[in-house]
Amino acid sequence: MSAHTGRFRLSLARLWAMVVKEFIQMRRDRLTFALLVGIPIIQLTLFGFAINNDPKGLPTIVHVADAGPHGRSVLSALRNSGYFRPTEEAVSRAEIDRALELGRVQFAVTIPAGFERALRRGEHPQILIEADASDPAATGNAIAALSRVMTNALVHDRGDVTPAAPPPFDIAVHRRFNPEGITQYNIVPGLIGVILTMTMVIVTAMAMTRERERGTMENLLAMPVRPIEVMLGKIVPPIGMGAIQVAVVLLAARALFDVPMTGSFPALMIAVMLFIAANLCVGFTFSTVARNQLQAMQMSFFFFLPSILLSGFMFPFRGMPVWAQTIGECLPLTHFLRVVRGVMLRGNGFGEVAANAWPLVVILVVVTFVALRRYKRTLD
């Protein structure tokens, strides 16, 4: 029998030895094994329990200029629909604008003065409902349910109105920040955060592991540099790459999709720098934990998956259960999406950006502290 034929002979004993050897290696590589088991569990949990395309209980600010019984019935009908949850009561037009611009509420309901009198006279008074339509998916079902809700609103107050009859008042729906409900206005600004999250975390997650695999870690440890200096040296160069990515997406957003830029561009750039730094520090932390570049890549995707699902990029943030929103609040992408959409669509300036950007500062400080502690252990 020739050597070429013998190369394809199968020995069950040798095959079994190879299988046992691979299982032993897999058991020793606990991090990879945990990721292989953990990712399917996280996907099942997120898609099964956290993701909801029909958000309800949306925060609503109410301005009641006529506190008559029929106005209260309208508010009660909105509340009972399940879509609207009154959380604030405004006394002026400025309070409504401020709440919507900051993203504190999804809807604003205004019952005008003289509503009761006009209703009794059969004049069909108008109720104004304003929606933060920067995310069309978050408001679409609630707006679609308004006709049914308002038709039944005054059934118990007026005997001549039946559930099938139209309401004795008009509803004016004002979709703010994205009147036409253009999906690109919501998705394209968010892509800035998604692209930066994916690339910045991966780049620095592989920083320290690359040093180990190339055998240059000993030289780095022998250099007279402190952990903070090593960390800054690893994260400063990718900042330029992140800036280029932001410029490309912003130019494409304007040239190809005509996405507006109604707010403060300098304020957006400050938030971009904070967001890039936070993701770079997250990646550096991963690089101090991972033993090789494969593990660093796996940990990066393990972080990227909940970021894209729980941040409000793909699915309405307010449609998720409380526990999922709590996790989402710990992710840099969640807060950056609010900033970038606020600046580009709502016209936010430094004041509004500061209110939404301070969590990025907190995340940056916490992750930097953890990264430095981990790197000191590596030095030991």
pLDDT digits (tens, 9 = 90+) for 71-124: 888 888 888 888 999 999 998 899 999 999 999 999 999 999 888 888 888 888
Q: Identify the pLDDT of residue 158.
A: 54
Local confidence band at 305 (pLDDT 50, 70, 90 cut-offs): confident
Using pLDDT thresholds of 50, 70 and 90, give the confidence band for residue 192. Answer: very high
CA distances 137 to 45, 186, 361, Å, are 22, 10, 29
Please give the mean pLDDT across all residues of the chain: 84
Does residue 26 lie in a domain region? no
Does 167 or 369 have the greater pLDDT score?
Answer: 369
For residue 379, the model assigns a pLDDT of 46
Task: Indicate the pLDDT class of residue 225, thresholds 50, 70 and 90.
Answer: confident
Burial label, 352 (beta-carbon count in 10 A; 0-12, 13-18, 19+):
buried
pLDDT of residue 155: 59
**pTM reported for the whole predicted model:** 0.84
Residue-number span of the structural domain to which 99 is assigned: 58-176
Considering 176, 196, 211, which residue would you say is the last residue of a domain? 176
Mean pLDDT, residues 310-327: 91
pLDDT band at 235 (very low <50, low <70, confident <90, very high): confident
202 and 126 housed in the same domain: no
Q: Give the Cβ contact number of residue 328 at 10 Å.
A: 21
In terms of domains, do 363 and 255 share one?
Answer: yes
| Co-location of 258 and 314 in the same domain | yes
Q: Do 273 and 368 fall within a single domain? A: yes
- In the chain, % helix, strand, coil (3-state, to 5) comes to 65, 10, 25
pLDDT for res 221: 65
Segment 322-345 shows an average pLDDT of: 94
Beta carbons within 8 Å of 113's beta carbon, 6+ residues apart: 65, 66
Same-domain status, 105 and 143: yes
Is pLDDT of 311 > 80?
yes
Does 5 fall in a domain?
no
Q: Are residues 343 and 208 in the same domain?
A: yes
Q: What angle do CA 221, 222, 225 make, to 5 degrees?
A: 70
Residue 187 and residue 171 share a domain? no
Domain stops at, among 149, 176, 203? 176
Nearest alpha carbon to residue 107 among 175, 164, 42, 49: 175
Alpha-carbon span 99 to 106, nearest angstrom: 9
Please tell me whether residues 100 and 203 are part of one structural domain.
no
Query: Last residue of a domain, which of 129, 153, 176?
Result: 176
**Domain assignment present for 272:** yes
The total of other beta-carbon atoms located within 10 Å of residue 252's CB is 13
Statement to judge: residues 337 and 193 lie in one domain? yes
Say whether pLDDT at 272 is over 90. yes
Q: pLDDT-derived band of residue 302, with 50, 70 and 90 as boundaries?
A: confident
Do 214 and 160 share a domain, yes or no?
no
Which residue reads 């590596």 in tokens?
378
Helices (H) and strands (E) counted in the chain, each on its own, are 17, 5
User: What's the pLDDT score for residue 217?
Assistant: 66
Element spanning 58, H or E:
strand 58-64
**d(C-alpha 19, C-alpha 16), whole Å:** 5
Mean pLDDT across the stretch 159-175? 71
Residues 273 and 300 in one domain: yes
pLDDT, position 377: 53
- Write down the pLDDT at residue 132: 93
pLDDT at position 211 is 76
pLDDT of residue 173: 92
Task: Please count the structural domains in the chain.
Answer: 2
> What is the spatial distance between Cα 33 and Cα 282, in angstroms, rounded to a whole number?
21
Q: How confident is the model at residue 160 (pLDDT cuts 50, 70, 90)?
A: very low
Domain assignment present for residue 351? The answer is yes
Mean pLDDT of 125-134: 91
How far is Cα 306 from Cα 370, in angstroms, rounded to an integer?
20
Single-letter amino acid, residue 177 = F
